Amino acid sequence: MKKLVIYIPSIERGGVEKNLIYISNYFSKNNIDVYIVTANKDKKKSFHNKIKIICPKSTRWNNSSRLIKTLICLGLIITKLPLKNISILSFQSNVSAIILSKIFNIKIIIRLNTSINKYINNFIKMFFFKIIYSMSNIIIVNSLEFKNNLNKILKLNSIKIFNPIKNKNLNKKLKINYFENFNGIKILSIGRLTDQKNHITILKSLKILKKKKINFKFYLIGTGYKLNELKQYVKDQQLTEHVKFAGYKSNAQEYIRSSDLFVLSSKYEGLPNVLIEAQLQNVPIISSNCSTGPREILLNGKLGNLFKVGNYISLSEMIINFTKDKRDFLDKAKLAKKYLYRFDYEKNLSKYQNIINKIL
């Protein structure tokens, strides 16, 4: 029996990792022999016990750079697995996985998670990635816009599979209300504290809200290298009473359910899970109109409000409008529930299953 090797050198905290867990656990329950190759030894508990984790013996590499982790994982595949009896599903560092697959004549599926606009910005990169990606057997993307961009920019075909989302039980009693005893507007954002997520745009908009004497609390869930920079901005703009850096939270759904408004400010995405999770909880959304994902999830503004990337003035105006009259925002949130079938857990995971069955 052929083995499916899921290649993800660095397992971090975000939407990609959540999809990794859903997909790999689904495969293992459907009679696929799954191996995960990663440099993160500390993530074993997240996966079904049938899944074999191929990782270093030590946790010393957990915080290493992506490059170091990639080199470690290439070595692990070569030394720990029977190369003639595997196929690869690459979640990350796709270039290295493709090169390895060509050297050893291994079938490979690559899953692109982030808009190619992030890294393909000149002719040389366009030529390079077109050649490399074309060497894969199958390319999977997670939005129609992503699929169209890949075809337009690199002339490559791909298969679109939306991110699978589990429908949480909204009837369960809220365990903790994280904004309890606060009567102003409760704003939430979730995402790694990196340049991509562009949280400074939200903080700049909150500065305007403060000047307008609007009563608000903003919770930011996530960790990352931008933390100190963002904290300094909050301090300099005297926003400390209004802004809470909550760090990583495994129970982020509870925060979403406690909030009045969810804001995404990214410069680019793939298909941001957090927007879908906010829709599951009936929370109104304001999102940057970045490539790719938000426009598709929100049906071009029908299911939530969109603002131009980096336009904090426009974002502040939308939040102010929300404080004045929530009806339009709440109507869009209510309508969003009717379109959640697009991200159905079983339907989308079965699409992955069909592809894997064919390649194995």
Looking at the predicted structure, is the pLDDT value of residue 128 above 60?
Answer: yes
Q: How confident is the model at residue 129 (pLDDT cuts 50, 70, 90)?
A: very high
Between 250 and 224, residue with greater pLDDT: 224
Note whether 337 and 14 are within 8 A (CB).
Answer: no
Domain ranges of the chain: 3-164+344-359, 185-342
Q: What is the pLDDT of residues 262-308, one digit of tens each?
A: 999 999 999 999 999 999 999 999 999 999 999 999 999 999 999 99
Q: Please provide the CATH number assigned to the domain covering 185-342.
A: 3.40.50.2000
Q: Are strands 3-7 and 138-141 parallel, antiparallel or unpaired?
A: unpaired
- pLDDT of the residue at 132: 97
- pLDDT over 90, % of the chain: 77
Rg of the chain's alpha carbons, rounded to an integer?
21
Confidence (pTM): 0.91
The chain-wide mean pLDDT, for the chain, equals 92
Q: Same fold for the domain at 3-164+344-359 and the one at 185-342?
A: yes
Q: Please provide the CATH number assigned to the domain covering 3-164+344-359.
A: 3.40.50.2000
Q: How confident is the model at residue 319 (pLDDT cuts 50, 70, 90)?
A: very high
Q: Is 160 helix (H, G, I), strand (E, B) or coil?
A: strand
DSSP 64-131: S-HHHHHHHHHHHHHHHS-GGGEEEEESS-HHHHHHHHHHTT-EEEEE--S-GGGT--SHHHHHHHHH
- pLDDT of the residue at 28: 87
- pLDDT of the residue at 360: 82
- pLDDT of the residue at 212: 94
Residues 240 and 171: their CA atoms lie apart, in Å, by 34
CA angle 75, 357, 2 (to 5 degrees): 40
Q: How confident is the model at residue 169 (pLDDT cuts 50, 70, 90)?
A: low
- pLDDT of the residue at 175: 54
- pLDDT of the residue at 172: 54
Q: Is 251 helix (H, G, I), strand (E, B) or coil?
A: coil
Q: What is the pLDDT of residues 10-62, one digit of tens each?
A: 988 778 888 999 999 999 888 889 999 999 887 667 788 889 999 998 888 88
- pLDDT of the residue at 17: 85
- pLDDT of the residue at 260: 95
Per-residue pLDDT averaged across 84-109, rounded?
95
Q: Residue 159: which of 174, 170, 144, 178 has the closest Cα?
A: 144
Q: What is the pLDDT of residues 213-237, one digit of tens each?
A: 999 999 999 999 999 999 999 999 9
Query: What are the structure tokens assigned to 292, written together?
Result: 């790719």
- pLDDT of the residue at 322: 97
Note whether 126 and 133 are within 8 A (CB).
Answer: no
